[in-house]
Amino acid sequence: MTNATVVFAGTPDFALASLQALVDAGVTPVAVLTQPDRPAGRGKKLTASPVKQFALAQNISLWQPATLKGADVFSALSELEPDLLIVAAYGLLLPQAILDVPRLGCLNVHASLLPRWRGAAPIQAAIAHGDVESGVSLMRMEAGLDTGPVFARAPLPIGANETAGELHDRLAILGGELLVDCLSAILAGRLSTIPQNDDEATYAAKIRTSDARLLWSESAIDLHRSVRAYNPVPGARFSYRGEVVKCWQADVVAGGGHPPGRILAADKEGIVVACGEGSLRLTQLQRPGRRRVTAAEFAAQFDLAEGKDGPVRFE
């Protein structure tokens, strides 16, 4: 496809899709940068990133610096004389000195239609805010947070019940496809960039566990979006009898006028909870340290019927 010298930087599965697309298209990077191995799983065993595993399998030179601010990384990258550094969900800040090394600069595969949802969690933000579409942007990187000019965008509709995990997987594939489609033109200087309109910018901050708490005073529509946005990480949650319960699936149902959090029904179809506006039917739940179960199975573990102490409520 090209004789250009390309370096790739990325870490999770989203990045792997772009790296694999490059290799499949005949563009094997001369080096791959990925984050150091991190503890993962119940045993907290040091685990290689998906990008590292693929690079090793392809016998690509692999670097795992803890930071890019050191002179050693700058020197090693400069010696390669790269034409382009392609970055996808790398997770480390690229200082200006690194941005300036490649002849054509650094290209970022970003999971949003920039300037909407700059930042760390664009996929979750798009779902949580009710966007009807997401997409991928190819951006020339600069010092600001996702502020660089854009080479190309590819939109993707968001399904009415699509989770962040499902959208992530589709955007990852789209990102790899868009990268391969545009790479030759970018390397040849045939594809110009368009500056972002900063007045239209929105920001998607890094997800905190507290962001995933379901506040029953909110509307059922907003809570449904939260359930989808935080599936699979960190999982939308609420409290019941001192336990933090995660909700993995839900849908909006008619009904209202009840105190938020009150359980209105619990049957084989799910557990219906009153919200600030409308009601939410929970259909898949998980107690701490246990497997995911249907809401009907969850209800069978408790007596959710109204008793002498009054209506049952989720907190």
pLDDT tens by residue, 22-36? 999 999 999 999 999
Considering the chain, what is the average pLDDT of its residues?
94
**180: buried, middle or exposed (CB in 10 Å: 19+, 13-18, 0-12)?**
middle
Q: Which of 68, 57, 61 is nearest to 35 (CA)?
A: 68
Q: Which of 213, 227, 244, 107 is nearest to 165 (CA)?
A: 227
Which residue did the predictor score with more confidence, 295 or 228? Answer: 228
Percent of the chain with pLDDT over 90: 86
Q: So what's the pLDDT on residue 74?
A: 94
CA distance 285 to 263: 15
The pLDDT confidence band at residue 2, using thresholds 50, 70 and 90, is low
Q: Which of 114, 110, 111, 83 is nearest to 189 (CA)?
A: 83
CA distance 1 to 22: 10
Kindly report the CATH class assigned to 209-300.
alpha beta
Q: Do the domains 6-204 and 209-300 sit in the same CATH topology, yes or no?
A: no
CA distance 251 to 219: 12
The pLDDT confidence band at residue 40, using thresholds 50, 70 and 90, is confident
pLDDT surpassing 90 at residue 14: yes
Q: So what's the pLDDT on residue 223?
A: 98
pLDDT tens across 86-113, in order? 999 999 999 999 999 999 999 999 999 9
pLDDT tens across 149-187, in order? 999 999 999 999 999 999 999 999 999 999 999 999 999
CATH of domain 6-204: 3.40.50.170
pLDDT tens across 236-290, in order? 999 998 999 999 999 999 877 889 999 998 988 999 999 999 999 999 999 999 9
Domain assignments of the chain as residue spans, ordered by start = 6-204, 209-300
The pLDDT confidence band at residue 308, using thresholds 50, 70 and 90, is very low
pLDDT surpassing 80 at residue 312: no
Tokens of 280: 């939410």
pLDDT surpassing 70 at residue 62: yes
**58: buried, middle or exposed (CB in 10 Å: 19+, 13-18, 0-12)?**
middle
pLDDT surpassing 80 at residue 309: no
Q: So what's the pLDDT on residue 256?
A: 74
Mean pLDDT, range 206-214, rounded to an integer: 96
- Whether 7 and 85 have beta carbons less than 8 Å apart is answered as yes
Ramachandran angles phi, psi of 48, nearest 5°: -75, 145
